[in-house]
Amino acid sequence: MKKIIMIFGILAAIIVPAISLAGEDVIESQAVNHMAVAKQYEQEMHGLGMRIQNLENRIAHLSEKPYFDPKGFRRSQSQLLLTKLQVELLKLQGQIAWHYQQANQDSQS
């Protein structure tokens, strides 16, 4: 047990100064990570936007031709799903904005 603690102590003594010397690299790396996550969220947002557009088209089609959905179940389900997807889209937009803001702060410091 003492040998394991000594090994971790030695490794910590070697690694910690290297990390503190490479602080700027860590900050740049964090900025790059924030940008990568923001780009990934933008791709998800694009796919979500396509789904929302398809649902809006479906709702419009069912509204124009109610005989395809006489009781209105499909249209009401589509509207509920549309609302849920729009809320998800707003959350994604907020996350994207936050990641871009963090990337800007990290690159400026």
Domain count, the chain: 1
Rounded Cα gap, residues 47 and 55, in angstroms: 13
Rounded Cα gap, residues 85 and 54, in angstroms: 12
Whole-model pTM: value is 0.69
Mean pLDDT in residue range 12-39: 69
The whole-chain average pLDDT of the chain stands at 83
Mean pLDDT in residue range 51-69: 95
For 101, the domain range is 24-108
Rg (the chain; Cα; Å): 25
Residue 17 has pLDDT above 90, yes or no: no
Q: Is 64 helix (H, G, I), strand (E, B) or coil?
A: helix
Mean pLDDT in residue range 33-46: 94
Answer yes or no: is 44 within a domain. Answer: yes
Answer yes or no: is 95 within a domain. Answer: yes
Residue 5 has pLDDT above 90, yes or no: no
Residue 105 has pLDDT above 60, yes or no: yes
